[in-house]
Structure 1
């Protein structure tokens, strides 16, 4: 086995069922409780679930889907994915205590699967792996902070340190983190957005002036049409299906655009609805467009051409503006004429063929929204993780601008963020690209001169470690090794570091891909009581629709040695910066209200933060595009843009691979070797292929194969996958990440955003050699 990658583990027990056609329902209820009770006792598990996403409870550590603005279910305001994420936090039957690390060396642990590593439970004490050692051993907190501080202060430049962040850190932790890093002297603040929604941030900022959703929760319930693109809500954000079902029952329509038929796109059985449980769930997709991988830009452009044609017909009939919102276009946008003229360069039939569709199929979808502006388009990584990801999302905005669907009730742009506070972390200043207004505010409030140069994003960080420019890696949450593209290259970079540090709740593979010295710092989770000098503390998070709400831990931590993320960061800042700091870090740990007061002085939209966040349900941050204000674009208007589809030219023995996640995982966290909704059981190393592609390549169902990508003359291989026939367009294939991240070269990324091209990898599939 390559020591940089997970073991190529076959269970030998692959079973295949027909894919499910409904999301949620009784099977989701059973799976949720099974997972919770497997890790803890009934009372602790029930208490956690009963408080999950309640206004006086704690925020789900899973996705960033917003909670309902008004009344919430008193029974279960959560989904199966959220229950699984919480179960991982509340585990008490197993803990990854120092005994585990006495029993297993790092070399032995790295041979274990990701599933096994996660099943060992919560980390309980800080651990260190010293140079030349074979085992992690306990270390006192004070010694750990001094070790890190000594390594940081010994660097020739602050820019030799890299401070990564996952999307689970609270607003309070994220704020003190970026403050410490900037006081230390660098903007090397890569985060998980670099790997997923960076294309969204770039496209929305360029076209609308704000890289966030323009919709609210209630907009989903009142929309006439929702178009879901490059997203599988039944797995990635199941609670999203609740307002969608409400919208459907009011007469709304859903267009689903995806290379795979997914249960969460077809029907939803609401577990708390007797009607649904007795008579079946609500059909979701009215039109399903099974596009080829990365043909979404061509589809959107075809839709725009059809809308223009419909508007021309209406104008000829004496009804100008019946299809397009001409008043909105004239008053609020720029670039319309150039955009319309550019459409003449594209043939409608060729665009449809590129998608693998007919013009009639696309017209059927357009007919659903051509006379209404109440259109929401939502998307996730199926649009962002391509070389043309920014262009595709810009085309989403073109379509919404034509309809005047920005800044109205029931319409708008809706990226679906995958991590619970990834958007809040950005708002707090965790970003390698510096915002002048934030730097000026930090200088005014804290009396220091923050660095002005942009730092490393995730891709640049890996390259810097390889080149010896990044010598200390500090990870606030996450599993960087497995989340990042080009797994082997990433691992080699981390191994070149002098020090790697991970703040974590559970053991993962990144702890085993380490620098010369390595530290694991265990932290409190969302479910845990956080007691500091002034008493119990709460944190706050921002949802994908820009709602900031409080979150209270409600359970006793599994170990007395755990510290909150805020405490870890502040104590490290105190040890590293010493008298150079103008901040009383101890006071911030003692009372998080003081952090929120500083946020209120520094970041726009957080005035009276402590008062507003205590309102039941929280508060909405300002959102200019939601009010049809675009003052942060170059000309103060929303921008139409000209984007050209770039079809993939494949050889006869090549396929286009997209990485996907199973229903039984969240990001890189694997809960089970299964994918219930797609009918896969007891195995993860599978590759979904069209039956005709299987035959044309001389392969057979359940045959063991290797996947090869070749870029710039270098071949990368993911070994030993099992062929599974599936309903997927010809020439396309899919397999789970992180197992397939090894196929994505570090240099293959989206234009402008640098997001890895994890959803469009050209591969060859060959039989595994014995």
Structure 2
């Protein structure tokens, strides 16, 4: 446990001077103070580059500074003056580096040369690009295609992603797991069943027309801070914002806009949430049933009085299926059960229902607080049910809005990064490229982990990301990873997965999206898709960190050429010379989604892909929007019968983006100097006999023959519902059993993980070693 942890309540709003100071500090730390201000002028702007951090929408008319604190941190992280050179690797063995923290590894800076692991010296050594491609291709040819996995993190461009998925299918499999499998795969399963589309229905302009926003399980201040602009403007119009989240997060409470000088000087914060309900982890279904039950009760009373229904009867009758079954379920569910499972009282849920009933247009925003539970699919579908009751899908100012994480995680699925064959136009690819695509579903993240553990996965190609660190079941996964025959990692910085050396391991450094990508036809443009399905062009502005870097499309093309037999219909070299030709190919594969792709690159605000549900066209089995009845009120693996079991919520800090750690502070939560903390309710601390900052361990409350335990935490009293606790990802990933995932979507269930608290006895003085 770190002795440096400090805990002090943060009494300031999100944004404000705290964000400004943070930007200066992080820019200085990375040696980016000279170049960053100039580049940030182009951040999320037309003719500029798209942020490498979150996937929030980019407005047609951008703000003067169209970046947030975390987006700027991501930029500084990429523009760092630090370099991880061959000399660095010569001076540090892989065994030594495995003892470094996530922050220390990436803070060493940008990778500069292609490297290959040398087992005899336990070090990475430089290798030529030609030698690397030749050896990787030779080895890939020798594997059964079923034993090779092609993983993609969510930052690769549409062009890169399209080439990558085609490479995998030409190679012979659909083993294309991606970071969506770990977070929003639940959305991709839930929404098609309910409304016929795997993505949200909301566009950025809908926030200008809404008069009410319901938010579930999403931390806006850390995970999508630019959304605060729209929330602030909605509040100033009088819109109500109703938040359901176990922790009181600063971004949902109050915000000072750094782009408003008057507000900055006066520190006159905008109150964001008008109602805030600290729902129990795993209790969202119960909370939503409570809101629906109240609406049904009031609707029944209104109809008895001969008054107009508070539900949208015309919409329900014309556009939905399963309404009566859902209504019966809600009416038959007791308030006692709802209160028990949600952790909220009836009066609170009725207050939320009243706000909903009075609103004309409602947007429902949600994040991984809904998706990463055993019944995550049911969580999302319950939220859709609520919207359907009053026709809040398919009209201005209303709709469902999943907030994605990685900047292009949604886009890469759009262009074929998918393990499920039903999601990809294989017949069109077959005709376009003259081959027979594999028709068997591939491995997603959980199946990839299972294959690594049972030995059926022999090779792994990683397009970005930190797969092993992000995946569950660390105690088994890390040692098993070193049994792989081949690991190829395409990356900008060093991380822990790179240090888990397979029999042959390559580290291939690539250009960042921020950097000028010069090819034969000139500087290249890439594209990304934001959370609202809008496609944006991105142009690199900075000089490359090293002359030895290659672009992601170039690396993929060279590996493909070294691995696959020649195919005149797949112009790898021409695509690398001119990414516009890749976009032409994408348009040919997806003509309805990417009509006039190259001509629309610089449309202000991006161009939206068509989403039928926006027009109330329901591509479901019933050709209507479906009310779905949840399987149970509790979404957690914890059944609530053992009072000594707490539900652990894993979360990100303010100084973090997924597995990238920018520092050890979490300013908004008042935690400084350490990430090894567990936030606990004060009553739980009292009943367990745990004092403030006492050292504790967490053990997963399962008996599956595997040790799931992490020690060295400091306990901190925090405003969190009783029976719940919270700690950081990925430090808590060793607690996650591989089999604890969301039903249907198989997304790891890390938002209500059943754990037990273990007190660590202090070492007696007589037991201390002699000086």
Relative to the length of structure 1, the TM-score reads: 0.96
Residue 48 of structure 1 is matched in structure 2 by 39
Q: Distance in 2 between matches of 1:252 and 1:181?
A: 47
Residue 71 of structure 1 is matched in structure 2 by 61
- In the TM superposition, 1:283-294 aligns within 5 A as 283-294=271-282
Q: Distance in 1 between matches of 2:350 and 2:605?
A: 41
Q: Does 1:756 align with 2:748?
A: yes
Q: Deviations over 1:420-468 (max 9, x none)?
A: 0000000010010013661011012111111010000101001111212
- Quick check: 205-214 or 709-718, which moved more? 709-718
Query: Residue 241 and residue 469 in structure 1: after superposition, are their counterparts in 2 closer, same or farther (change >3 A)?
Result: same
**How big is the alpha-carbon RMSD for the aligned residues of Structure 1 and Structure 2?**
1.3
- In the TM superposition, 1:16-165 aligns within 5 A as 16-68=7-59, 70-74=60-64, 76-92=65-81, 94-155=82-143, 157-165=144-152
Give the deviation of 1:30 after TM superposition: 1.5
Q: Distance in 1 between matches of 2:11 and 2:51?
A: 26
Residue 560 of structure 2 is matched in structure 1 by 573
- Quick check: 685-694 or 220-229, which moved more? 220-229
- In the TM superposition, 1:366-381 aligns within 5 A as 366-381=353-368
Q: Deviations over 1:665-695 (max 9, x none)?
A: 1111111111100001111100001111111
Residue 570 of structure 2 is matched in structure 1 by 583
Q: Does 1:696 align with 2:698?
A: no
- In the TM superposition, 1:237-252 aligns within 5 A as 237-252=224-239
Give the deviation of 1:699 after TM superposition: 1.2
Q: Which structure 2 residue ranges, 5 or more long, are not aligned?
A: 764-771
Give the deviation of 1:724 after TM superposition: 0.4
Residue 5 of structure 1 is matched in structure 2 by none
Q: Are the aligned partners of 2:432 and 2:569 in contact in 1 as well (CA < 8 Å)? A: no
Give the deviation of 1:353 after TM superposition: 2.8
Give the deviation of 1:348 after TM superposition: 2.1
Query: Residue 502 and residue 581 in structure 1: after superposition, are their counterparts in 2 closer, same or farther (change >3 A)?
Result: farther
Structure 2 residue corresponding to 1:331, chosen from 315, 318, 343: 318
Q: Are the aligned partners of 2:511 and 2:550 in contact in 1 as well (CA < 8 Å)? A: yes
Q: Does 1:745 align with 2:734?
A: no
- In the TM superposition, 1:225-244 aligns within 5 A as 225-244=212-231
Q: Deviations over 1:328-385 (max 9, x none)?
A: 1111111111111222331123202321111111111111120334111111111111
Query: Residue 737 and residue 225 in structure 1: after superposition, are their counterparts in 2 closer, same or farther (change >3 A)?
Result: same
Residue 341 of structure 1 is matched in structure 2 by 328
- In the TM superposition, 1:532-681 aligns within 5 A as 532-580=519-567, 582-603=569-590, 604-630=592-618, 632-643=619-630, 644-646=632-634, 648-681=639-672
Q: Secondary structure at the match of 2:709?
A: strand
Q: Deviations over 1:491-546 (max 9, x none)?
A: 23322210111111111111011211111110111110000011010100000000
Residue 769 of structure 2 is matched in structure 1 by none
Q: Are the aligned partners of 2:362 and 2:392 in contact in 1 as well (CA < 8 Å)? A: yes
Query: Residue 364 and residue 344 in structure 1: after superposition, are their counterparts in 2 closer, same or farther (change >3 A)?
Result: closer
Q: Distance in 1 between matches of 2:209 and 2:258?
A: 22
Q: Secondary structure at the match of 1:42?
A: coil
- Quick check: 500-509 or 606-615, which moved more? 606-615
Q: Are the aligned partners of 1:466 and 1:496 in contact in 2 as well (CA < 8 Å)? A: no
Give the deviation of 1:657 after TM superposition: 0.6
Give the deviation of 1:41 after TM superposition: 4.3
Residue 687 of structure 1 is matched in structure 2 by 678
- In the TM superposition, 1:246-325 aligns within 5 A as 246-277=233-264, 278-321=266-309, 323-325=310-312
Q: Distance in 1 between matches of 2:759 and 2:207?
A: 46
Give the deviation of 1:133 after TM superposition: 4.0
Q: Are the aligned partners of 2:645 and 2:701 in contact in 1 as well (CA < 8 Å)? A: no
Give the deviation of 1:650 after TM superposition: 4.1
Q: Are the aligned partners of 1:706 and 1:768 in contact in 2 as well (CA < 8 Å)? A: yes
Q: Distance in 2 between matches of 1:279 and 1:110?
A: 44
Q: Deviations over 1:291-345 (max 9, x none)?
A: 1111000000111111111222232333333x21111111111111111122233
Q: Are the aligned partners of 1:570 and 1:589 in contact in 2 as well (CA < 8 Å)? A: yes
Query: Residue 383 and residue 170 in structure 1: after superposition, are their counterparts in 2 closer, same or farther (change >3 A)?
Result: same
Q: Are the aligned partners of 1:183 and 1:581 in contact in 2 as well (CA < 8 Å)? A: no
Q: Are the aligned partners of 1:654 and 1:731 in contact in 2 as well (CA < 8 Å)? A: yes
Give the deviation of 1:719 after TM superposition: 1.2
Q: Secondary structure at the match of 1:136?
A: strand
Q: Secondary structure at the match of 2:740?
A: coil
- Quick check: 483-492 or 174-183, which moved more? 483-492
Give the deviation of 1:131 after TM superposition: 4.2
Query: Residue 507 and residue 437 in structure 1: after superposition, are their counterparts in 2 closer, same or farther (change >3 A)?
Result: closer
Q: Secondary structure at the match of 2:105?
A: helix
Q: Distance in 2 between matches of 1:274 and 1:434?
A: 52
- Quick check: 368-377 or 48-57, which moved more? 368-377
Q: Deviations over 1:599-651 (max 9, x none)?
A: 00001310211001233332111011111111x21121110111121373242
Q: Secondary structure at the match of 2:574?
A: helix
Q: Secondary structure at the match of 2:352?
A: helix
Q: Are the aligned partners of 1:540 and 1:549 in contact in 2 as well (CA < 8 Å)? A: yes
- Quick check: 344-353 or 681-690, which moved more? 344-353
Residue 6 of structure 1 is matched in structure 2 by none
Residue 470 of structure 1 is matched in structure 2 by 457
Q: Are the aligned partners of 1:153 and 1:576 in contact in 2 as well (CA < 8 Å)? A: yes
Query: Residue 221 and residue 317 in structure 1: after superposition, are their counterparts in 2 closer, same or farther (change >3 A)?
Result: same
Q: Secondary structure at the match of 1:376?
A: strand
Query: Residue 384 and residue 361 in structure 1: after superposition, are their counterparts in 2 closer, same or farther (change >3 A)?
Result: same
Residue 515 of structure 2 is matched in structure 1 by 528
Q: Are the aligned partners of 1:208 and 1:639 in contact in 2 as well (CA < 8 Å)? A: yes
Give the deviation of 1:751 after TM superposition: 0.3
Residue 767 of structure 2 is matched in structure 1 by none
Q: Are the aligned partners of 2:255 and 2:269 in contact in 1 as well (CA < 8 Å)? A: yes
Q: Secondary structure at the match of 1:369?
A: helix
Q: Secondary structure at the match of 1:366?
A: helix
Q: Distance in 2 between matches of 1:374 and 1:129?
A: 57
Residue 715 of structure 2 is matched in structure 1 by 723
Q: Distance in 1 between matches of 2:430 and 2:307?
A: 56
Q: Distance in 2 between matches of 1:102 and 1:556?
A: 26
Q: Distance in 2 between matches of 1:172 and 1:162?
A: 20
Q: Does 1:216 align with 2:203?
A: yes
Give the deviation of 1:20 after TM superposition: 3.7
Q: Does 1:12 align with 2:3?
A: yes
- In the TM superposition, 1:366-405 aligns within 5 A as 366-405=353-392
Q: Secondary structure at the match of 1:297?
A: helix
Q: Distance in 1 between matches of 2:561 and 2:150?
A: 16
Q: Deviations over 1:236-291 (max 9, x none)?
A: 11101100100000010101111111101101111111332114210011111011
Q: Distance in 2 between matches of 1:617 and 1:597?
A: 21
Q: Distance in 1 between matches of 2:673 and 2:206?
A: 40
Residue 7 of structure 1 is matched in structure 2 by none
Give the deviation of 1:39 after TM superposition: 1.6
Q: Distance in 2 between matches of 1:433 and 1:268?
A: 41
Q: Distance in 1 between matches of 2:314 and 2:307?
A: 14
Residue 407 of structure 1 is matched in structure 2 by 394
Q: Secondary structure at the match of 1:629?
A: coil
Q: Which structure 1 residue ranges, 5 or more long, are not aligned?
A: 1-9
Give the deviation of 1:50 after TM superposition: 1.2
Q: Deviations over 1:533-589 (max 9, x none)?
A: 110101000000000010000010110011111111111111111325631200000
Q: Are the aligned partners of 1:61 and 1:168 in contact in 2 as well (CA < 8 Å)? A: yes
Structure 1 residue corresponding to 2:506, chosen from 514, 519, 524: 519
